[in-house]
A = this chain, B = another copy of it.
Amino acid sequence: MDATDIKILTLLQEDASISIAELAQKVNLSQTPCWKRIQRLEASGIIQKRVALVDPEKVGLGLTVFVSIETNDHSGSWLESFAEFVSEMPEVMEFYRMAGDVDYMLRVVVSDMAAYDGFYKRLIETIPLKNVTSRFAMQRVKATTVLALKASK
């Protein structure tokens, strides 16, 4: 992955609706090799997919909550079913297994407190958890899907 690939990725991460002609021009290539690079990046999975980003506020999903979870039971099969259950909750945008004091970390997006309460009840009713801490966002200062890329390999 050379500097040109990084340029292409950076531009496509910011706007994937750009035409190949314009993209090629911005990275100082003609269409054909530019197109081939994109194909390669897609085939290798570096570009996972192209998606439309929806404004959460405009569709009534204005409440973001970070949820820290501590668990008791740590058996392998329990963890697996826990992971699957949480993954399937549509309000969960991100779900990480953590190192340290917190076992899991979620970012949850809902319409309002009432909706979060519903989510919370579903979460704790279905699964026995040692501790669940909810932290509520007042303001989204920055949210991006653009990774800062550096040359490698």
Contact = CB atoms under 8 A, between A and B. Distances in A.
Interface of A: 1, 9, 12-17, 44-56, 58-61, 64, 66, 83, 86-87, 90-102, 104-105, 107, 109, 111, 135-150, 152
Contacts of A149: 54, 59
Contacts of A141: 83, 86-87, 95-97, 104
A141 B80 CA distance: 10
B142 A92 contact: yes
A90 B150 CA distance: 11
A147 B82 CA distance: 21
Contacts of A148: 90-91
A16 B140 CA distance: 25
B98 A135 contact: yes
A142 B87 CA distance: 6
A101 B133 CA distance: 11
A44 B66 contact: no
